[in-house]
A and B are shown apart, each in its own frame.
Chain A
Amino acid sequence: GAVVSQHPSWVICKSGTSVKIECRSLDFQATTMFWYRQFPKQSLMLMATSNEGSKATYEQGVEKDKFLINHASLTLSTLTVTSAHPEDSSFYICSANRATGGAFFGQGTRLTVV
């Protein structure tokens, strides 16, 4: 089956630093990747849609300068949380859509900003 690898699975960083999260489709080309955020006890919230070779489309209320998304190839998208603050602590999940159909999720990244 299709596999999406998200790395790291957890990270702790100091306030003010930046953190990069990678999302890779290991055995298929992902035409579109999505980044979600999950607050404790809440459902997933779509942050942005990432298409290879073009700028990401951000959802309303999501700061694009804070959450930098790069989709450099059909198998890799990265989310960089810049100048992280404790309120950015959350569970971030990516998903990748396969060109032939289906959406596949990464394992998630738990970010803790201290």
Chain B
Amino acid sequence: TQLLEQSPQFLSIQEGENLTVYCNSSSVFSSLQWYRQEPGEGPVLLVTVVTGGEVKKLKRLTFQFGDARKDSSLHITAAQPGDTGLYLCAGALSSNYQLIWGAGTKLIIKP
């Protein structure tokens, strides 16, 4: 069974602080996606990383794919209240296109 473990499950920090969310697995993924999900809504794709060691930046968000393509991280610099939400990682195996999902990190940024 392929598993994606996300940590932390919950994070509450002050506006302006930095944070990192981790996504780890023993499986190798052909790609890894990060999504953000609001309550009662569908996941919204933030980024896709494909190459081992790849780093992508989206404004204050930095995404990294591990060299072995088994793990990924999301770093937010100077977090703002608008960053509050549930962040999900999802990995695609090379053999098929179904996404294996992490349980999510619930992030709260306090003003």
Q: Do A and B come from one complex?
A: no
Chain B contact residues, CB within 8 Å of chain A: none
Chain A contact residues, CB within 8 Å of chain B: none
